[in-house]
Structure 1
Amino acid sequence: MLKLYDTLRSGNAWKVRLLASLLGIPLERQTLSIDRGDLKQPEFLRIAPMGHVPVLQLPDGNHLAESLAILHYLAQGSDWWPQDTLAQAQVLSWMSFEQDRHMKPLAQLRLHLALHGHGNPDSEPFVGHAAAARAALQVLDSQLERQGARGWVATLAKPSIADVALYPYTRMAPMGGIGLQPYPAIRAWLERIESLPGYQSLFPGQPERNLSTAELA
């Protein structure tokens, strides 16, 4: 069985667990703690030289790091990775956008304003993060509007791993003070993803906790 090393609220690890659930791939999950220093321990760094999650342990004992690489690995041979070369390139284009322009500001806002609970949203760098986050969400909303009511981010007929990559930090944007009301195409897209068979929330079986910071068992 595949084994996933993650942390409780990692958006990047959520991408992997979401895709695996949508594909019906079972994962053994080992949840680590940043606060305990688990990600700095020698035993973790031996399998994860980059020092962060997610890390996927393969059946042959090899380890694969970085969420986008893991999504690509899991999607091979499935409808989540298109066969057409141009469509593949379009998927990679939107995954690059997610890492470069979308995830960074949204993750920083969520981390500091919600999870750590410190920082003034009306001061820098948070004002800049908020502006960048809204700009990225507008790009995504415009793309989804172009794709039509039944389209997906990079492909029309079926969702791809670009949708999975962009989903978690978009869904959690309100945690960092970025409301989704101005983005109707995004809100409709989130509903489509959440209606897919196999959808898994950040806290499995508890979708109401997607935006929660409460420490519950």
Structure 2
Amino acid sequence: MILYDTRRSGNAWKVRLLAGFLGLPLRRRTLSIDRGDLRDPGFLQKFPFGQVPALELEDGRLLAESAASLQFLARDTPWWPTNPFAQAQALAWMSFEQERHMPPLAQLRLRLALHRDADPGEPRILSWSAQARHALALLERQLAGAGPSGWLITADHPSIADLALYPYTRFAPMGGISLDAYPATNAWVDRIRQWPGYQPLFPGQPDMDFATSEAELPA
């Protein structure tokens, strides 16, 4: 199975995390946005959405979008709940992540840490920060209600909803938002990092999640 990704993609990281937790062999084809790989005709012929992550299965079938990939890989495993209502809850939180959680956190990370092309006092940055803090407050309330060893929607085992929310929550400090203000969320992040099979954003360098310069990154 081949995963098409980019080095810093939080959405692609979700798929790598689940594959690691499940012990699934995964070959990476890491593309470059700057080089224009996502606009390459060969890539677009396979994946018209023009985005990563994208999966190429062993039988040649192609699958785009992180949520679809997570649900497909998690079927018949503890990462996908068996209870229909819990399944619906997982989908609700994954929708929340894509619509209200990831967008402001991703923009803050991009503008303040990676591109560094914005001032923290700009109206758009302040707006994204307010949206991100609201999303994190909702996540914090849910996790606090689950208790110190609970997960987002399940009691004893994390689900793909946890994985969907993890990367951009982990990146929040890059956008100027400390997770110290969200203790249940901070503890949840640590629990995911300690789960057997955890895959760092940059392989072999678990402390490089917040790297902002290409010079810092492994080859």
**Fold match, TM over 0.5?**
yes
Distance apart, 1:48 and its partner CA: 1.1
Alpha-carbon distance, 1:59 to partner = 1.2
- Identity across aligned pairs (percent)? 60
In 2, Cα distance between equivalents of 1:186 and 1:138: 9
Extract unaligned runs of 5+ from structure 1: none
Cross-structure match for 1:136 = 135
Normalised to the residue count of structure 2, the TM-score between the two structures is: 0.97
- Equivalent residue number for residue 52 of structure 1: 51
Counterpart for residue 91 of structure 1 = 90
Report what 2:39 is aligned to.
40
The structure 1 segments of at least 4 consecutive aligned residues displaced by more than 6 Å after TM superposition are none
Residues of 2 paired with 1:205 and 1:168: CA distance? 17
TM-fit CA distance, 1:90? 1.0
Matches within 5 A, 1:47-196: 47-196=46-195
CA contact (8 A) 2:21 2:198 kept: yes
Shift of 1:84: 0.8
Match of 2:199 in 1: 200
Once residues 6 and 61 of structure 1 are traced to their aligned partners in structure 2, the CA distance between those partners, rounded to angstroms, is 17
Tell me the equivalent position of 1:5. 4
What runs of 5+ residues in structure 2 fail to find an aligned partner? none
In the superposition, the TM-score normalised over structure 1's length comes to 0.98
Per-residue Cα deviation, 1:112-132 (whole angstroms, up to 9, x for no partner): 111111111111211100000
Q: Deviations over 1:124-159 (max 9, x none)?
A: 211100000000001001100001111101111210
Tell whether the 8 Å contact from 2:113 to 2:212 is kept in structure 1 after alignment.
yes
Alpha-carbon distance in structure 1 between the residues aligned to 2:192 and 2:138: 19
Aligned residue type for 2:182: Y
Q: Is the 8 A contact 1:92 1:162 kept in 2?
A: yes
Higher mean displacement: 90-99 or 131-140: 90-99
1: distance between equivalents of 2:167 and 2:203?
14
Give me the whole-angstrom Cα distance separating, in 1, the residues matched to 2:200 and 2:2: 18
2:77 partner SS = coil
Task: Provide the C-alpha distance between the structure 1 equivalents of 2:96 and 2:152, rounded to a whole number of angstroms.
Answer: 11
1:62 CA displacement:
1.4
The aligned amino acid for 1:204 is P
